[in-house]
Copies of this chain bind each other. A is one copy, B any other.
């Protein structure tokens, strides 16, 4: 056990830090959902790519730096520390890209990977369906293979970043006769194809982070199938494996949230033992999350099977984050319901709060997480 950086890691850390210090824009961008915001984010992404920071975890041959998970985490720690802009093409760089690198063919890689790095193509994910929520394998979107084409009909839901997406990596059912987990195919769908429609989902917190996708007789070339027809479940599982090293939800990120909440604690409550105990608990939980994650990244970095904790991160952070935000709302008192930020708030906490509540549902509901832990970690029987 050694938490110091290796000389190579130190060099890498210094390189990032210096570059970010020199390059991170001083003004904050408009949201990428606006035209100007999108343009500025893309410009920033291209600058990152120019410095070969766009996807440090990708192999060098594809434009990355071949960084192991620990070094990738060092990159994101610096990135957050520098308060750099939110990433624009997360699902491409974190999920679609690594899946292509692992299971795509040479043509597919050369076709899609470069435009991911430059953000010429933005990607979104088409896994969830209204009737297949927790039961991912129960999805119904049809893909009829005939000749060189897959004809796609159906509906996807809960896709994020889909409003300005160019490509969708999706799971479709190509063999309706096969058992649930079989007969699925992993498909890259051009979002601009005829028959693709995107409808933003208005959320209860007055925002719209997600959208529905509708497919009506969308023709997708068979060349866009990754990993073979009817082999989609295996490919999708490989994709989801990359989620755990996606580096979005880091301890530093949650400390930032906690810091925002602490700024809202009124002077009069700062000596309140109950308030202090709660804050201590949050601090402890974030640090636990730091080391849960670091254990996993360390194992992955030396090519070992990660321990049981690797199945637990999502459950831990999602419930912890909601507790922190719920506490923040308590601190705001009656002002907690205001849609506009009150003095001291960076953004309206109540909106983050509800989004956080949604995180107990998305990316495998916390009930599914507990099933997985009890079955895969503890070896209890499946079902129920």
One digit per residue, 1 when the CB lies within 8 angstroms of any chain B CB and 0 when it does not, for chain A 273-306 equals 1100100000000000000000000000000000
A277 neighbours in B (Cβ, 8 Å):
274
Interface centre among A274, A277, A384 (most CB of B within 10 A): A274
**What's the minimum C-beta distance from A330 to chain B, rounded to whole angstroms?**
14
- Residue A272 lies at the interface, judged by CB distance under 8 Å to chain B: yes
Q: Contact size class for A? A: under 10
Within 8 A of B (CB), among A231-283: 272-274, 277
Of A272, A273, A277, A384, the most chain B CB neighbours within 10 A belong to A273
Q: CB-nearest residue of chain B relative to A275?
A: B273
Q: Give bound CA distance, A242 to B153, whole Å.
A: 60
Interface membership of chain A positions 137-181, coded 1 if the CB is closer than 8 angstroms to chain B and 0 otherwise: 000000000000000000000000000000000000000000000
A384 / chain B contacts, CB cutoff of 8 Å: 384
Could you mark each residue 359-384 of chain A with 1 if its beta carbon is under 8 Å from any beta carbon of chain B, else 0? 00000000000000000000000001
Bound Cα distance from A277 to B275, whole angstroms:
12
A272 to B272, CA, bound (A): 10
**Closest beta carbon of chain B to A207's beta carbon, Å:** 33
Complex CA distance for A272 and B276, rounded to whole angstroms:
13
Instruction: Tell me, rounded to whole Å, the shortest Cβ–Cβ distance linking A238 to chain B.
Output: 32
Closest-CB distance, A382 to chain B (whole angstroms)? 13
A277 to B384, CA, bound (A): 38
Cα distance, A277 to B272, chains bound together (Å): 12
User: Closest residue of chain B to A277, judged by CB?
Assistant: B274
Instruction: Enumerate A28-76 residues with CB–CB distance to B below 8 Å.
Output: none
| A273 neighbours in B (Cβ, 8 Å) | 272-274
Report B-chain residues with C-beta under 8 Å of the C-beta of A272: 273
5 interchain residue pairs of minimum CB distance: A384-B384, A273-B273, A273-B274, A274-B274, A272-B273
6 contacts between A and B (CB under 8 A): A272-B273, A273-B273, A273-B274, A274-B274, A274-B277, A384-B384
